[in-house]
Structure 1
Amino acid sequence: MSLMSGAERAFAGSIVRLSYENPFLPGRIALERAALGDEFVESAPVWTVRADRDVLNPNIGRLRARVERLARTIRERLVAGSAASDADRLLYEDVVLYLLYSRYEDDWWALITSAKGDRGNCWERFRLDVEHWLHVPGVRPPELHETAHLFAALFQVRRAFHHIFWHVIGGSMPMARLRAAVWESIFTHDMRRYRRALWNRMADVTTLVVGPSGTGKELVARAIAWSRYIPFDSKRGKFTAHFADLLHPLNLSALAPTLVESELFGHRRGAFTGAVQDRTGWLEECTALGTVFLDEVGDVDVGIQVKLLRVLQSRTFERLGDTTPRQFRGKIIAATNRDLAAEIQAGRFRADFYYRLCADIVATPPLAEQLRDAPDELANLVLFLAHRIVGEPEADALAEEVESWIRTHLGRDYPWPGNVRELEQCMRNVMIRGEYRPQELRPSAGARATLGRDTMAGALTADQLLGRYCTLVYAQTGSYLETARRLGVDRRTVKSKVDLEQVEAYRL
């Protein structure tokens, strides 16, 4: 007897293609429809969190029930001695992997949302299931990794879906494409290749997240970092790390260059004033499973760019004040709201550093782009944020008040230059003041114009003029050394005169 009928083989093929499909792309819907036929239930083309209704996919339960029946039937035939070709055997193995994932989906969700996210409470049941389904008496066992690795790999898939689906929200196609891009940053576009060869190599790939301020770049970085592969220790019944402990974020624009270097690379005692003891930096603290997130990388000093370039090239670095090479074993994710091509052209960002960052680029869409594609999405975002701001009892009332204010005073075409961050503050303004009056922010023109006006009026002392001019040139170069070279003064003089709080205001 043949191991599978034509209809069974067709269904199994649809399930396997669905297993390796990016769940956030529209192709998933076509594959679900092909697998279920008349049982398929139509749903929204974009699968996302909705604040006003349930978002469970109605087809998942139907697929799981049919997969379970098919897997049971094929196993019974194998036990009874039905011949299986290599292709049929591989097809059965992939069907079983889908079954195992769906069976333990709720267990893994509980693990993700609990404080003990490193405990494999369902491990023993999973091990017995693998033994039952994949080690059939009289049949050559599958050429899979050991069961503990399979457990860790499927848990990674569940974690990735959870962190992308629940944290990168939005019902427009630009946001659907963003979720799909984040999925590919974790697993690549070829899940089979990832499973064969890349699951333990993705730390070598640097991810660069680009997009305007307030579009969720940090959420993207967090989703990627928290979704990396973590081995499972079957002897201890635990994962070797808790995913929430593996992200090390650093905002590069919030600290002076020396402090940035100390935070990243660490320092030896006496390396600079105030270094009273040795300190381990994030690059050294980060394990092979961890991720260092370099936020606002477009603002970092050129001298630090050189050191980071070495980290990306050779995976080595040195503490400040030390000459001992140290190994960086983790992954780098960087983010910026700057136009790096323009920054390179202006000499503020090194081209060779950029070409080490750009192996994997994820672009976050501005809110205006999302609303052009799906105008009704504003109501969903407002209600979602209202739940977060005031809680469930008051969310509907606040959302209605905010929507009314936006509709009456801002209009549907308001561009939201501050993106979702501005929308959230708009809601807080309406909640507190009953209104939101957006301000026009033009600091760059104002600062440069003020410097010119004060200089022509002779209103500045020599020391004030040097300080402001140093700040202006530093805003263009991003480097104390280059600023000193251009002005013909000592680097220490430049460093003492630059007003870091005004640098942004002087940039073009």
Structure 2
Amino acid sequence: MGLFEAPERASATTMARLVVANPFLPERIALEREILGPDFVDVHSDWNLRPGSGAIHPNLEGLERRVTALVDHAHERLADGHVPDDDERDVFDLLVLVLLYYRYRTRFDEVVAHDLENPGRCLPVAFYAEFERDGRRLLTIPGAALDAAAELPHLFSMFYQFRRAFFEIFNNIVGVSAPIVALRAAVWQSIFGHDLRRYRRVLYERTNDVTTLITGPSGTGKELVARAIGLAHYIPFDPKARNFTENYTGLFHALNISALSPTLVESELFGHRRGSFTGAIADRRGWLENCSRQGTVFLDEIGDLDRRIQVKLLRVLQTRTFQPIGETESRRFPGKIVAATNLDLREELDAGRCRPDFFYRLCSDMISTPTLHEQLRDTPGQLRILVTFLATRLVGTDEAESIADEVVAWIEEHLGLDYEWPGNVRELEQCVLNIVMHSRYRPIVPSRAEPFQDLARLVADGALTLEEITRRYCTLVYAKTRNYERTAQLLDIDRRTVKSKIDLDLLERLDHGPR
């Protein structure tokens, strides 16, 4: 007789498949339906689309009852002297893991909440002793113990990581459209890989070696995706101190490259020594040095990175080492790099503005964020979901629904559901704010030619000074290229001059138009 009787074997095998399935793909719900059969509850069964519903959905409670029964029956046969073969041990191991996860998932949610309320502090986790006793009892067989019994602190860390991943993915990636579902699934894979068993064995220690590149138009939430990845990093649990070694809330470090000069970018990243350049009046540690093994450095607008700094960052990606400005001793970077750009880096590569070796180091893990138009074309109801989310963030839950009613009604009447939303979710947020404050929104959608025509008219009228002409023209060209070096080449001026001449107010207005 096997470890599982014939009627149980298929259910146990399917349950094991469910453990390693990507929870944000439709396959996950299909497996739940297969396991539960007639007990499957159709109402809101797509809990993986809705934040908060996963902890209480009756299908998950049904799965916990099923896996408890399977594990209990297997223990009875183990007590009767059955010696499982390798395949049975693997299935039994996965069943115990899913049982432990379901049993303690809400307790891990409390740890996440405590970390958010106590940033910078690593608080004791009181229920670990209970978890350890439970785990050793469930994973022990007569005469031997499965390997997992010796790695309970590691499993404890993984379960905590799972709950943070759910929280951050749901909190940062909002909606139910197919592009958003695919984005959530891609983010989960960027955190855990496609094979959760491999992640458990070895990959959890090596994900820092994989650089994640997020691409997509402006306003599509690339930094939010980066936060979801960075804040769901693996954090070891210390069984002696009874706490996690880091509070996860302080492990994400963002740097916007396009907002700083190359010297400042270099200093922010690598740090510098006193006197290494004009203005370096004291030693300064950069983000690469301040970042811990569990931390993430996010480089926004990586396409604007100076080629000279590309060489230095390439060394970090290849060897995990760097040197602060003005120092010859190498330091080690232990954390993870996530980068983002709204440029087509292949075009930048072809144009010679991006080094090939740097590009290929960046693209080991690539995620693309969908436009708002793509989301609404797939699921028109996504509009209300996003408006409600934005309104809740603005005024809280009490007024959010009434604001959503007002905003959606205004959009349907004045813009129509086929409006392109060239500024994506960022534009939608401004639309919500305008309607809340003024009961209207006036989108700025200039044609590509209009800004240059306006400049020509003002020049012909003698309405601008030479400085104003220079600033406007530099800004218009940069708005098309989105690259300081390329703009400098086109205008035959120094890159630093371009950056000093950009009119940020004009650039912000242009950003509401199509890119």
User: Cα distance, 1:352 vs. partner?
Assistant: 2.5
Instruction: Compute the displacement of 1:118 (Å).
Output: 5.0
Deviations 1:2-55 (A, max 9, x none): 42211211111111100000000010111111111111112455832379x999
* Residue 414 (structure 1) aligned with residue 419 (structure 2): yes
- Identical aligned residues as a percent: 46
Deviation at 1:181, TM superposition (A): 0.1
Q: Find the counterpart in structure 2 of residue 359 from structure 1.
A: 364
Partners of 2:421 and 2:483 lie apart in 1 by: 29
Q: Deviation at 1:79?
A: 1.8
Whether 1:108 aligns to 2:83 is no
Structure 1 gaps, min length 5: none
Q: 1:262 is aligned with what amino acid? A: S
Q: Answer yes or no: is the 8 Å Cα contact 2:47–2:57 preserved in 1.
A: no
Distance, in Å, in 2 between the alignment partners of 1:479 and 1:62 is 57
Of the structure 1 ranges 94-103 and 37-46, higher mean CA displacement relative to structure 2 is found in 37-46
Task: Return the match for 1:152 from 152, 157, 180.
Answer: 157
User: TM-score, normalised on structure 2?
Assistant: 0.88
Deviation of the 1:147 alpha carbon: 1.7
Distance 2:100 2:94 in 1: 10
Contact 1:298 1:340 in 2 (8 A): yes
1:495 counterpart letter in structure 2: R
Inter-partner Cα distance in structure 2 for 1:473 and 1:432 = 32
* 2:79 is the counterpart of 1:74: no
Q: CA deviation at 1:188?
A: 0.9
CA distance in 1, matches of 2:151, 2:227: 29
Are the structure 2 counterparts of residues 221 and 145 from structure 1 closer, same or farther at C-alpha, using a change threshold of 3 Å?
farther
5 Å-filtered alignment, 1:302-321, equals: 302-321=307-326
In structure 2, relative to structure 1, the CA distance for the partners of 1:466 and 1:395 (3 Å cut) is: closer
Q: Deviations over 1:122-177 (max 9, x none)?
A: 11011101111112333443366522112112221222122112321111011000
Distance 2:387 2:490 in 1: 51
1:352-397: CA deviation from partner (whole Å, max 9, x where unpaired): 2211110000111111101111112212222222222222222221
Residue number in structure 2 paired with 1:29? 29
Contact kept in structure 1, 2:24 and 2:181, CA below 8 Å = yes
Aligned counterpart for 2:127 among listed residues 112, 122, 130: 122
**C-alpha distance in 2, partners of 1:55/1:271?**
54
Whether contact under 8 Å (1:111, 1:119) holds in the other structure is: no
Q: Is the 8 A contact 1:24 1:47 kept in 2?
A: yes
Secondary structure at the counterpart of residue 253 of structure 1: helix
- 2:387 alignment partner AA: V
Amino acid at match of 2:269: L
Cα distance in 2 between the residues matched to 1:296 and 1:449: 29
Decide which of 239, 243, 250 is 1:245's aligned counterpart. Answer: 250
1:210 to 206, 215, 229: 215
Letter in 2 for 1:322: E
User: Aligned Cα RMSD in Å?
Assistant: 3.3
Quote how far apart the aligned CAs of 1:481 are: 12
- Output the CA distance in 2 between the equivalents of 1:139 and 1:102: 25
Structure 1 counterpart of 2:377, one-letter code: R
Structure 1 partner of 2:84: 84
Other-structure match for 2:10: 10
Moved more, 62-71 or 86-95: 86-95
Amino acid at match of 1:92: F
Q: What secondary structure does 1:199 align onto?
A: helix
Structure 1 residues 484, 277: closer, same or farther in 2, change over 3 A? Answer: farther
Contact persistence 1:286–1:292 (CA under 8 A): yes
**What is aligned with 1:94?**
94
Superimposed CA distance per residue, residues 192-247 of structure 1 (whole angstroms, 9 cap, x where no aligned partner): 22122211000000000111122111111111111111111111001111111211
1:393-472 correspondence to structure 2 within 5 Å = 393-441=398-446, 446=451, 450=455
Is it true that 1:382 corresponds to 2:387 in the alignment?
Answer: yes
Matched ranges for 1:227-266 at <5 A:
227-266=232-271
For 1:111 and 1:416, the matched residues in 2 are separated by: 39
Distance 1:172 1:183 in 2: 17
SS at match of 1:292: strand
Classify 1:188/1:463 alpha carbon distance in 2 versus 1 (closer, same or farther; 3 Å).
Answer: closer
Matched to 1:277, the amino acid is: A
CA contact (8 A) 1:50 1:384 kept: no
Partner of 1:47: 48
Amino acid at match of 1:431: V
Amino acid at match of 2:496: K
Kindly provide the CA deviation profile for residues 298-343 of structure 1, in whole angstroms up to 9, marking residues without a partner as x: 2222222222122112222111122222211111000111222233
What's the secondary structure of 2:367's corresponding residue?
strand
State the secondary structure of the residue aligned to 1:248.
strand
- Residues 27 and 183 of structure 1: CA distance in aligned 2, closer, same or farther (over 3 Å): same
Which amino acid is the alignment partner of residue 112 of structure 2?
I
Tell me the CA shift for residue 479 of structure 1. 6.8
Aligned to 1:289: 294
Residue type matched to 1:68 in 2? T
Query: Does structure 1 conserve the Cα–Cα contact (< 8 Å) formed by 2:238 and 2:244?
Result: yes
Distance 1:129 1:157 in 2: 19
Q: Partners in 1 of 2:389 and 2:82 — Cα distance?
A: 54
Q: CA deviation at 1:486?
A: 9.7
Given that 1:186 and 1:224 are in contact with CA atoms closer than 8 Å, whether structure 2 keeps it comes out as: yes
Pick closer, same or farther for the CA change 1:46–1:135 going to 2, 3 Å.
closer
Q: CA deviation at 1:121?
A: 2.2
1:172 maps to 177
Code of the aligned partner of 2:36: L
Alpha-carbon contact 2:471-2:502 (below 8 Å) kept: no
The residue identity in structure 2 corresponding to 1:210 is T
Indicate the residue corresponding to 2:63 in structure 1. Answer: 63
The letter for the 2-side match of 1:17 is R
Query: Counterparts of 1:407 and 1:481 in 2: how far apart (Å)?
Result: 40
Count of residues paired in the alignment: 503
Distance 1:283 1:453 in 2: 47
